[in-house]
A and B are shown apart, each in its own frame.
Chain A
């Protein structure tokens, strides 16, 4: 009953979002486009990093690969084929990176992924300067921002659906096992290396597609724009704010933060990065499990206080 209702509500929300361009002006569409873009990025990021706790800063590496593939190919191939090519390149890079880094744990993985994004940015810059002779590329497509928006919205729906089905299947359990203790997971018969690689690849392909779909929005593309590390950090902070381990966490985090960032960058363009940094620290300290985790914890505590006897016992056990 409840699930049927939530599915209906969800379908209604997506239908409303899909219809929105008919009622909004250019600014409104651009705003929704950015919002849906970040919701998708944060959800895709959390698909892999949430349960496994491998914090990736490679988001913008894949995002930029997607955007650049489109900038290079959009005049020669039909737009759907460009997306396929972008996805394949993203997949290839993800597999390459995954095979060589998923053995790295903790902070080494974070540093590697950050370095990867920089490396790819420098490589693209070098290639453009030395081989093609230009740094920037113009990108003029014959469709409007609403088409970009619809594509992005569809990708967002697909991403959330993937997250939902993974959570419901035994692979959701598998990812939690990996996040908790990879050694135990392996000894329980879980091929951890393959699972991590597959999920990292899935997450990376979605991120690549976000970059590829959004690319026409800029009309002018250069490495500093589409490989801007802020994109990685924003994605990370959004997922963490909402709670990266939960399906709706990244959505809950991305929406308010996107609104806040829009407002900040409009009103405090000079102090934007300082405020961003402070916010980042605050979220990690105050809400280590995200907003959803915070409410869940307090809800459980309230419920525990409501009933007597047995719960007291279990609390004692927790304290001991």
Chain B
């Protein structure tokens, strides 16, 4: 398989703090991978640099061989990267339909408005929000806001989808729905990178995991093996608990 995302020596400094330090990894076309690590290890910052939300301090990100670093977020979106946010971000003055229509109408090749509206209905159906078009986005429940955010990300027809703790805060039945949704998207050929803490979801969805600690990559490989890696266990639980 071809490489879709290539992250090379990605670095982010905030003053004296290095949040992401020389991070390198790549994703193949169609892969689902988890980006793991304890709180504050730099996962979200890495995602933010890939999606263009934050500028990089060093390193490069390539998508399909095209350089994303230094480009504004809308350019990166047009290049094929979509994301959801750790704290759900809806457009509160728009209804559900318009929240998604917004992303359809401003993707790289927007369709005519009528076609776009039909497409929005299909997307709403896909994420389980059929018939909710006219509801106020801000008054949706948490899971429904997450569904809407996912639909909005899909509306830009991404090659690469970045999910920042998209499954966090869901109850067990919602979680299995969420996992189902993500694996469906992957079957359609979308490459997915998840920042996630929910271990059941990681095991179910991601054959591969990249683990960060204090801004550095400390492990990269098959999820089951990576989770047994002594350094990973130490990073998550602290030195005293590492028995291996």
Whether A173 pairs with B83 at a CB distance below 8 angstroms is: no
Can you name the residue of chain A whose Cβ is closest to the Cβ of B103? A188
Given the interface pairs A170-B105, A314-B135, A320-B141, the reply to whether A186 lies near B74 with Cβ below 8 Å is: yes
Smallest Cβ distance from A13 to chain B, in angstroms?
A: 29
Asked whether any CB of chain A lies closer than 8 Å to the CB of B113, the reply is yes
The residues in A between 42 and 68 inclusive whose CB is less than 8 angstroms from any CB of B are: none
Whether B74 pairs with A189 at a CB distance below 8 angstroms is: yes
Contact digits for A183-223, partner B, Cβ 8 Å, 1 yes 0 no: 11111111111000000000000000000000000000000
Whether B77 pairs with A180 at a CB distance below 8 angstroms is: no
Given the interface pairs A187-B51, A187-B53, A318-B136, the reply to whether A173 lies near B98 with Cβ below 8 Å is: yes
Can you name the residue of chain B whose Cβ is closest to the Cβ of A314? B135
Whether A179 pairs with B102 at a CB distance below 8 angstroms is: no
Interchain CB contact (< 8 A) of B103 among A189, A193, A317: A189
Number of residues from A at the complex interface, CB < 8 A: 23
Can you name the residue of chain B whose Cβ is closest to the Cβ of A186? B73
Whether A187 pairs with B73 at a CB distance below 8 angstroms is: yes
Whether B91 pairs with A180 at a CB distance below 8 angstroms is: yes
Can you name the residue of chain A whose Cβ is closest to the Cβ of B89? A184
Asked whether any CB of chain B lies closer than 8 Å to the CB of A142, the reply is no
Asked whether any CB of chain B lies closer than 8 Å to the CB of A177, the reply is yes
Chain A residues touching B, majority SS: helix
Q: How many B residues touch the partner, as a band? A: 35 or more
Contact digits for B71-83, partner A, Cβ 8 Å, 1 yes 0 no: 0111101100011
Smallest Cβ distance from A286 to chain B, in angstroms?
A: 20
Q: Give chain B residues whose Cβ lies under 8 Å from the Cβ of A177.
A: 91, 94, 102
The residues in B between 195 and 237 inclusive whose CB is less than 8 angstroms from any CB of A are: none
Smallest Cβ distance from A304 to chain B, in angstroms?
A: 12
What separation, in Å, do the CA atoms of A180 and B103 have in the docked complex? 14
Smallest Cβ distance from A258 to chain B, in angstroms?
A: 28
Smallest Cβ distance from A308 to chain B, in angstroms?
A: 17
Smallest Cβ distance from B218 to chain A, in angstroms?
A: 29
Q: Give chain B residues whose Cβ lies under 8 Å from the Cβ of A186.
A: 52-53, 72-74, 77
Asked whether any CB of chain B lies closer than 8 Å to the CB of A167, the reply is no
Whether B141 pairs with A190 at a CB distance below 8 angstroms is: no
Can you name the residue of chain A whose Cβ is closest to the Cβ of B134? A314
Smallest Cβ distance from B109 to chain A, in angstroms?
A: 10
Asked whether any CB of chain A lies closer than 8 Å to the CB of B3, the reply is no
What separation, in Å, do the CA atoms of A183 and B54 have in the docked complex? 10
Whether A183 pairs with B53 at a CB distance below 8 angstroms is: yes
The residues in A between 63 and 102 inclusive whose CB is less than 8 angstroms from any CB of B are: none
Asked whether any CB of chain B lies closer than 8 Å to the CB of A270, the reply is no
Whether B107 pairs with A189 at a CB distance below 8 angstroms is: yes
Interchain CB contact (< 8 A) of B101 among A173, A181, A190, A191: A173
Q: Give chain B residues whose Cβ lies under 8 Å from the Cβ of A180.
A: 91-94
Interchain CB contact (< 8 A) of A176 among B51, B74, B94: B94
Can you name the residue of chain A whose Cβ is closest to the Cβ of B79? A189
Q: Give chain B residues whose Cβ lies under 8 Å from the Cβ of A192.
A: 74
Whether A181 pairs with B139 at a CB distance below 8 angstroms is: no
What separation, in Å, do the CA atoms of A260 and B51 have in the docked complex? 51
Smallest Cβ distance from B48 to chain A, in angstroms?
A: 10
Q: Give chain A residues whose Cβ lies under 8 Å from the Cβ of B98.
A: 173, 176
Known: A173-B98, A186-B72, A188-B74. 15 other contacts (CB 8 A): A170-B106, A173-B102, A177-B91, A180-B91, A181-B90, A185-B91, A187-B51, A187-B73, A188-B102, A188-B107, A188-B155, A189-B78, A189-B103, A189-B156, A314-B135
Residues of A within 8 A of B (CB): 170, 173-174, 176-177, 179-181, 183-193, 314, 317-318, 320
Q: Can you list the 3 inter-chain pairs with the closest CB atoms, starting with the nearest?
A: A186-B73, A180-B91, A189-B77
Can you list 24 A-B contacts with CB-CB less than 8 angstroms, sorted by A residue number?
A: A173-B94, A173-B105, A176-B93, A176-B98, A176-B102, A180-B91, A181-B89, A184-B89, A186-B52, A186-B72, A186-B73, A186-B74, A187-B51, A187-B52, A188-B155, A189-B78, A190-B106, A191-B72, A191-B74, A192-B74, A314-B135, A314-B139, A317-B135, A317-B139
